[in-house]
Amino acid sequence: MVKIEIFGLGCENCERLESRVKAAVEQLGIDANIEKIEDFETFVRRGITATPGLAVDENIFSLGRVPSVDEIIGMLRKKSTSVPIPSGLGIPVVNPTCGCSTTGTMIYPCSGGSNVGQISNEAAKAMVVRGLGKFSCLAGVGAHGEVFIASAKKAGRIVVIDGCATRCAYKMLKHVGIEPTVGVVVTDLGIEKDYERLDPSPEDVRKTINLLEEKLDQN
């Protein structure tokens, strides 16, 4: 029997995920035990950084979104391919963010193709783990996706993490009429941009997080 766990706080997206999981199980005709988990301590222990979350046989496959029925069927067929959980930064989980939330703090890293771009991405993930905001999709904003832009405009605060002085993330948001509340540039911390080194050091990520926290405290 397949063990399926749905992590959520009872929001609309969590209910939608449960419905799609049941549809996928029915289509596959498999025996499955579907369990809904709403306990915060379990979220922390299992590394659930955003809800709704989906796990199959103890492996986490999805966080902060509602996969389609076809995606869930694929997950159930390939149970060994799970998504990684952010780790190794020594940062505790404080409060998972809900994937259907459109208020609060939205975090947009540039996620560029260099060490500083990847530092921005890791810092954003760590901020989510600490419960300081929701990791959002900059590419969706850049593609003028109405849903992504509307979500950004409803946010209480917009945090932008750019890798270098080109400030792609900042400019992309400004282009669609969104004024970031807080913005940091990783190279301003004295970290040199390197296109060959894509694995950011935990120390550089922590430096970026510290600067973000300082600026958030001021806003």
Residues forming the active site: 11, 14
- Calculate the alpha carbon distances from 98 to 11, 48, 62, 86, 204 in Å: 8, 11, 13, 17, 28
The amino acid sitting at 183 is G
Residue 156 to residue 105: CA distance in whole angstroms: 6
What residues does 60 pair with on adjacent strands? 55
Residue 42 to residue 55: CA distance in whole angstroms: 13
Helices 115-129 and 202-217, axial angle in degrees (round to 10): 60
Helices 12-28 and 69-77, axial angle in degrees (round to 10): 60
